[in-house]
Amino acid sequence: MKTVQNSFIRSLCAIIIGVLLIRYREETVTWLTILIGVLFFLSGLISCITYFIDKKHQDETVVLDANGRQISGFRPTFPIVGLGSMVLGAILALMPTVFMTGLVYILAAILILGAINQFVILATINRILRVGIIFWLLPCFVLAIGVIAIVAPRWIASAPLFVLGWTLVLYGVIECIDAFKVMSVNKKYKQNPTLEETAIETTEIEPSVTEPTEVVDMTNEETNPTPKE
């Protein structure tokens, strides 16, 4: 549950930053850079704290079947985005004038890391419940915008902060959707955590149903031999 709450906080910070970039991208860039740095730092700090708390209790939440396959709960993934957000947030807040010219590249890097983090979350969910194609396409779009902003910034040169602002809002919405999906999966397997294990055990038992019949027939032949003439 802490991981889900952390996802909501991270998505909220992304949406706030995106709205600020859309609304105030040309005014007071210095204070906007400082504010963005503070939000990134707080979001990353919460992610790292939540990771270590969940890491401590992961054995209490993860359920495995007889073959060692995970059927319930989630192992916390290392907060790559959180760690990067802390470092970049501190730099943006303490040295805003140095990084104002490179703000587009910094935000693009955050989008790339965020998209990778969402792929990791979706892969974890997909081990338990099939994930629809739309959930994979959305982070692909975020990743594409981040890569374009770094590799070919001229494509969005007319309004880079505007484009990145809307992409950050989209990233925040996707993060919320993923968090709700994680909650749904956890709720499903808390209600019936042995569903998959029971199916596996039933499959293993079925092939041996006919074996006792053959043993009984052989026993009958040995106990009632044909009389010799």
Q: Residue 125: which CATH number? A: 1.25.40
* Confidence (pTM): 0.56
Rg of the chain, C-alpha, whole Å? 27
86 domain-assigned: yes
pLDDT (mean) for 15-21: 84
151 domain-assigned: yes
H/E segment holding residue 8 = helix 2-24
Q: Write down the pLDDT at residue 210.
A: 42
- pLDDT band, very low/low/confident/very high, at 117 (cuts 50, 70, 90): confident
Query: For residue 182, what are its two tokens?
Result: 């994680």
221 domain-assigned: no
181 domain-assigned: yes
The residue among 4 and 225 whose pLDDT is bigger is 4
- pLDDT band, very low/low/confident/very high, at 201 (cuts 50, 70, 90): very low
- pLDDT band, very low/low/confident/very high, at 214 (cuts 50, 70, 90): very low
Left if phi > 0, otherwise alpha if psi is -120 to 50, otherwise beta: which for 163? alpha
| Termini Cα distance of the chain | 81
- pLDDT band, very low/low/confident/very high, at 129 (cuts 50, 70, 90): confident
214 domain-assigned: no
The residue among 97 and 210 whose pLDDT is bigger is 97
Query: 224: which DSSP letter?
Result: S
Q: Write down the pLDDT at residue 194.
A: 52
Residue numbers of the domain that contains 47: 2-188
The answer, yes or no, to whether residue 203 has pLDDT greater than 50, is no
31 domain-assigned: yes
The predicted-structure confidence for 53-78, as pLDDT tens digits, reads as follows 777 765 555 555 566 655 555 566 67
Segment among 3-12, 26-35, 37-46, 186-195 with least mean pLDDT: 186-195
Q: Write down the pLDDT at residue 200.
A: 34
Domain count within the chain: 1
Q: Write down the pLDDT at residue 2.
A: 53
The residue among 70 and 15 whose pLDDT is bigger is 15
The residue among 224 and 177 whose pLDDT is bigger is 177
Segment among 4-13, 97-106, 116-125, 211-220 with least mean pLDDT: 211-220
224 domain-assigned: no
Q: Write down the pLDDT at residue 207.
A: 43
pLDDT (mean) for 123-139: 82
- pLDDT band, very low/low/confident/very high, at 215 (cuts 50, 70, 90): very low
DSSP-assigned states of every residue in 77-146: PP-HHHHHHHHHHHHHHH-HHHHSTTHHHHHHHHHHHHHHHHHHHHHHHHTTSPPPHHHHHHHHHHHHHH
Residue pair 4/74 in contact by the 8 Å Cβ criterion: no
116 domain-assigned: yes
Calpha distance 31→140 (Å, rounded): 31
